[in-house]
Chains A and B, each alone.
Chain A
Amino acid sequence: MTDGGDGRSGVNPLTDGSDFLHLLREHGHAAVSTMSDAGPGALDPPTEGTTILAIRYRDGVLVAGDRRATAGNVIVYDRAAKVLSVDDRSVMALSGSPANAYEIARLLEISFQHYRRTQLQELSLDGRLRTLSRLLRDNLPMAMQGIGAVVPIYVTYEPESPRDGYAEGGKIFFYDVLGATFETVDFCTTGSGSPIIRGALYYQNRWEQPFAERDEESTLLLVLKMLETAAEFDTATGGFSPTAAIYPQVMRVTAQGISTIDEEILAATYRSANVAG
Chain B
Amino acid sequence: MLDEPYRWVEAIRNRREYLQDQLAGASPVVACRYADGLLLLTSTPGPRKIFEAYNQIAFAGVGHPADIEKLRKAVIDIAHLEAFNLSARDVSLQRLVNFGAGPLMKAAFDEIFRSPFIARIMVAELDPTDDHETFSTVDADGSFGAAQSTAVIAGSPEVTEMILAQLPDDDEPAPLEQALVTALRAWGVGRLRAEAGDDEFAEPTSAQISAAIDRALVSIRLEAGVLDRTMQRKTKFRLLDQATLTSAVDAVRGA
Query: Chain A contacts of B52 at CB under 8 A?
Result: 117
Known: A1-B78, A17-B73, A117-B51. A8 touches B104 (CB 8 A): yes
CB of B70 within 8 A of CB of A9, answer yes
Q: How far is the CA of A110 from the CA of B235 in the complex (A)?
A: 12
Cβ 8 A contact of B74, one of A1, A27, A113:
A1
A88 to B232, CA, bound (A): 10
Task: Please tell me which stretch of B81-89, B128-136, B170-178 contacts chain A, meaning at least 4 of its Cβ atoms lie within 8 angstroms of it.
Answer: B81-89
Once A117-B53, A120-B48 are accepted as A-B contacts, the answer to whether A23 and B85 lie under 8 Å apart by CB is no
Q: List 7 A-B pairs, minimum CB-CB distance, nearest first.
A: A114-B80, A9-B70, A117-B76, A11-B70, A10-B74, A8-B108, A11-B73
**Interface membership of A106, Cβ < 8 A:** yes
Contacts A1-B100, A117-B52; A20 near B80 (Cβ below 8 A): yes
**With A11-B73, A114-B77 given, can you name 18 additional A-B contacts, CB distance below 8 Å?**
A1-B100, A9-B71, A9-B104, A9-B108, A10-B77, A11-B74, A20-B80, A20-B84, A23-B77, A24-B81, A24-B84, A106-B84, A107-B84, A110-B80, A117-B76, A117-B80, A118-B76, A120-B51
Interface string of A151-193 (1 = CB under 8 A from B): 0000000000000000000000000000000000000000000
Contact with B along A2-46 (1 / 0, CB 8 A): 000011111100000100100110010100000000000000000
Which residues of the partner chain B approach A120 to less than 8 Å between Cβ atoms?
48, 51
Shortest CB–CB separation between residue B78 and chain A, in angstroms?
7
Q: Which of B50-65 contact A (CB under 8 A)?
A: 51-54
B235 CB contacts on chain A under 8 angstroms: 113
Number of B interface residues in the complex (CB < 8 A)? 26
* List of B residues within 8 angstroms of A24 by Cβ: 81, 84
Chain A residues near B76 (CB, 8 Å)? 114, 117-118
Pairwise interchain contact B100-A29, C-beta atoms closer than 8 A: no
Q: Give the residue name and chain of the B residue nearest to A113 (CB).
A: B80
Chain A: interface residue count, which band? 20 to 34
Q: Which residue of A lies closest to B57 (CB)?
A: A117
Q: Are B74 and A9 in contact (CB under 8 A)?
A: yes
Q: List residues of chain A with CB within 8 A of the CB of B165.
A: none
Q: Once bound together, how far apart are the Cα atoms of A264 and B58, in whole Å?
A: 38
Min CB–CB distance A131 → chain B (angstroms): 14
Instruction: For A24, give the chain B residue with the smallest CB separation.
Output: B84
* A residues less than 8 Å from B84 (CB atoms): 20, 24, 29, 106-107, 110
CB pairs A–B below 8 angstroms (16 shown): A1-B77, A7-B111, A7-B114, A8-B107, A10-B73, A17-B77, A20-B80, A23-B77, A110-B80, A110-B83, A110-B84, A114-B77, A117-B53, A117-B54, A117-B76, A120-B48
